[in-house]
A and B are shown apart, each in its own frame.
Chain A
Amino acid sequence: MATKITPGESYGFFTDTSVCIGCKACEVACKEWNQLPEKEDELGFLGQSLDNTGELNGSNWRHVQFIDNVPDETMSAGNGSAFLLMSDVCKHCKHASCMDVCPTGAILRTEFDTVFIQEDVCNGCRNCIAACPYDVIDVNEEKNVAQKCTLCYDRLQGGMEPACAKACPTDSIQFGQLDELRDRAKKREATLHAQGLKEANLYGHDDKVYGGLNAFFLLMDKPEAYKLPNAANAVLPQRNNLGGYLGIFATAVLGLFGAVIARRQRNMGGGEEAAGASEGERP
């Protein structure tokens, strides 16, 4: 059933990694709709399993991770292990690190509660890249500004769901109103637990990670396995502001103290000044 999209409501993605088949239809749909350029080295063969996209960056706003969890040795029947697959994307964090550190105001929250980079405002300082804990943002080589998933802002404005969710053949990527998606995710997690898949866990559905993620996940392993920081490590860059500035203040006081001591010592040892002064002078 198509989601009715209303400005002022919160929208996002629920990505159920347990049904991702790694077809990369989401990547293709994203690239086509957003007219994202090919990176110069993009047609290269990475040699990393079935993944030749490699990472999220300025021209790949969706990336299907192929996490090789398969043991090298032969396993007995029923004890094998499959690849972990996850279609990764910007998480549209409630407390977004990138927004926190953007000095130009280029990154803003839209009327659909998503995080959006204005390409005509961004000046390419790349502070957001250093801040994003998920390695989502990168410089788009064609536009020369920071870019990432917009959650298909233009499609939302037109009442259409994002291209990736529309293209996903297994409904691994589900788009919708956030509260509705969360309810759906909890039911799915309960179903998997009931089937004995105790490792299934939700990531970012509640406020433990950056106040909640608008693009949250059902994972089949620990978050770290998918390069997602766990709740204890999901910290904002601004945590270091106070300590950093206090460190400067303390150092400045000690520096001033040092200058005062140097002046006193110099004045006490004035007799040696001339010798010290003449040494090393240019003729």
Chain B
Amino acid sequence: MTSLGAAQHFAGAPDWTWYILVYFFAAGLAGGSYFLATFLRYWGTPADEPLARLGFYVPLPATALGAVMLTLDLNQPLRFWHMVVNTTPGQFGLNFNTTTPMSVGVWALLVGSVFALVVFVGALARDGRIRHPLADRLTAFLEGSAGRAFNVVGTLLYVFIAAYTGVLLAVSNQPVWSDTWALGGLFLASGLSGSVALLLLLARFRRDAAPSRSFLEIGGRLFAALELLLLVVVLLTLIDDGTLDTALDLPWIPLWLLALAGMLPALRDLAVGGLRPTAGGAVAAVRAPAWAVPALVLVGVLALRAAFIFSGQA
């Protein structure tokens, strides 16, 4: 952010499109789900454990999907490993460039995927889908204080993964992207909202996760409020740099409307019901199927990222 009133941008577009959009979406859901699962397992009640397991099932496939998308987006996909290994003649070693979130993010993904694998296998073992002495030892490890510390580290990594994608856009010279510092926070808040919606959807397939629904509904309202607040901050910073018009240009209006529509049900529940647990919330209010509102939230999460990715490269 230059705070000049009208930032000059002459940078070319990197053509980051659908692969990157899917990756950003998957990263947000992976991070939000890991956060919620850790919170519910270690700071929730025993009745929250089934939902925590659902949450721990999400990061691994989301990370795998994201990694595939990132690789496919490269012009030289077979050189994906150049992100971590320096192949410059005479300088063989590991690459870690702290000035670019892309490098930091790749390492977070690499290390984070180990955590995602462990909690995924741990959830399978606890659900009795894997019966093996090693699985039992893993379950015992995750239940102890070492397991708690392990998951806190994993959560920190995944919160970073959900959010750094916004900083990645900001650390550029593109219009819109580089005119705000708040994109990382916005993507994290949006990832949390999306994860609540995803877990609400997944919980429909698991009866024993029902006791955690109220937590998700109240949390979803607060995360939506945080998301809206950060969206306002982002738009204010764009006004400051004179690129709000670019962001809100006509082709992107449907995406912005979808993004707002995704936030509205939770915000409505917050306005009407405050923080009291309610049966059905916005679903009951609009007489929609139970899956409709969480699905709308997920579409909104996707649309928000699309609006930023595409408007910054127009």
Contacts and interface: CB of A to CB of B under 8 A. Distances in A.
Given A247-B184, A251-B184, A276-B278, A103 B13 contact: no
A212 interface: no
A145 B87 CA distance: 15
A105 interface: yes
A156 B74 CA distance: 31
Contact of A97 (B86, B173, B291): B173
Interface stretch (B2-10, B117-125, B142-150, B296-304): B2-10
B277 A273 contact: yes
A228 B74 CA distance: 29
Contacts of A251: 163, 184-186, 188-189, 226, 230
Interface in B70-92: 73-77, 79-80, 82-83, 86-88, 91
A121 B99 contact: no
Interface string B201-243: 0001101001101111111001100100010000000000000
A40 to B, nearest CB: 15
Contacts of A265: 214, 218, 275-277
A281 B82 contact: no
Interface in B86-144: 86-88, 91, 95, 97, 99-103, 106
B160 interface: yes
Given A238-B171, A245-B184, A255-B226, A135 B10 contact: yes
Contacts of A247: 166-167, 181-185, 230
B252 interface: no
A102 B167 CA distance: 15
B86 A104 contact: yes
B83 A123 contact: yes
A125 B102 contact: yes
B95 A103 contact: yes
The range of chain B's interface size is 35 or more
A130 B172 contact: yes
Contacts of B181: 240, 243-244, 246-247
A269 B100 contact: no
A244 B184 contact: yes
Given A106-B82, A121-B82, A265-B277, A127 B10 contact: no
B97 A105 contact: yes
Contact of B99 (A101, A106, A230): A101
B64 interface: no
A39 interface: no
B275 A245 contact: no
B35 interface: yes
A8 interface: no
Given A104-B83, A241-B167, A262-B215, A127 B12 contact: no
A260 to B, nearest CB: 8
Interface of B: 1-2, 4, 7-16, 35-36, 39, 43-45, 73-77, 79-80, 82-83, 86-88, 91, 95, 97, 99-103, 106, 159-160, 163-164, 166-167, 170-174, 177-178, 181-186, 188-189, 192, 204-205, 207, 210-211, 213-219, 222-223, 226, 230, 275-280, 283-284, 290-291
Given A103-B97, A144-B75, A248-B167, 18 more contacts: A100-B100, A122-B82, A125-B102, A126-B14, A127-B14, A129-B12, A129-B14, A131-B172, A240-B170, A240-B178, A244-B181, A248-B163, A262-B275, A263-B39, A265-B276, A266-B218, A273-B214, A282-B204
